[in-house]
Amino acid sequence: MNLDFPFDFDHRGRTATTTEDDHIRDLIEQVLFTSPGERVNRPDFGCGLMRLVFEAASEELATTLQFTTQASLQRWLGDTIQVEELLVEVRDAALLVTVRYVVRRTGERRVADFRREGAAG
């Protein structure tokens, strides 16, 4: 049994749970969109991907962010998934992320898409 993210209650008023596939997707989302320093007991958790929305777009920034984001996923979820491809795009103050990965326990390939709005969104 895995707790749902974000924390919620089910129709019975109990803590909501989710499937293992959704739980892994939730874990990826947490790593992607948590900024380092945001968690008190784990100040190095996350990858700070949201700062891309506010930075001037450049090839160097995209390459750097691609590397640091993939390294962060490997560090925090390397026992759970193997990242095969990570695509990050900023479009109209929205951050679009696609992660292609393999679930290590089952060997199944998955694709997860995420979208976050910036300050203008």
Report the chain's terminal Cα–Cα distance, integer Å. 35
Residue 89's pLDDT is what? Answer: 79
Predicted model pTM: 0.80
Q: What is the pLDDT of residues 68-98, one digit of tens each?
A: 889 999 999 999 999 999 988 777 767 788 9
Q: Which residues pair with 55 in a beta bridge?
A: none
- Specify whether the CB–CB gap between 77 and 112 falls below 8 A: no
Both tokens of residue 107? 């060997």
Residue 85 or 3, more confident = 85
- Specify whether the CB–CB gap between 119 and 54 falls below 8 A: yes
Q: What's the count of helices (H) and strands (E) in the chain, helices before strands?
A: 2, 5
Give ∠ CA 29-120-62 in degrees, rounded to 5: 55
Q: Which domains does the chain have, with CATH numbers?
A: 2-117 (3.10.450.40)
- Specify whether the CB–CB gap between 24 and 80 falls below 8 A: yes
